[in-house]
Amino acid sequence: MNIRSTQMDAFSSRTRNNFEAALCDWARDTYPEECWDESDKELEGRIHEAVDRAISYGLKNERDAGEFVKFTFELGPEFDSDPRYEWASVILHDSARDGSARVAEIRGRLFPR
């Protein structure tokens, strides 16, 4: 996923729609088994909701929001409230660190080098 680091709060609705459409295409290509039974409208809704939640956690650029969406496919659509992934919720709620640092920590735990 090649996502720029455009600031989310500066998104026009058209820019956000384009960003979310690109994420839908990416999800269908990357996670076909997760998306095969979802209509375009259902997948668009899932992506839109995930981007809304990313923004609510202070993830303010496309790269971080895109990673959050990726986590929803890796861990589940509502991983951030799933008790199995409480550690991720703790990281996301850590307002002492910026969004990129929080995303990097979650990514590091999911995909250790």
CA 64 to CA 44: how far, in whole Å? Answer: 18
The answer to whether 96 and 109 are in contact (CB under 8 A) is no
User: What is the structure's pLDDT at 22?
Assistant: 97
User: What is the structure's pLDDT at 33?
Assistant: 94
- Name residues whose C-beta falls within 8 Å of residue 98's C-beta, 6 or more positions apart in sequence: 58
pLDDT tens for 72-86 read 999 999 999 999 999
For residue 101, give the DSSP letter. H
H or E element: which one contains 16?
helix 13-30
Which residues are 61's β-sheet partners?
7
Please give the share of the chain, as a percent, with pLDDT higher than 70: 90
pLDDT of 97 above 90: yes
Query: Does the reported pTM lie above 0.85?
Result: yes
User: What is the structure's pLDDT at 9?
Assistant: 52
pLDDT tens for 44-69 read 999 999 999 999 999 989 999 999 99
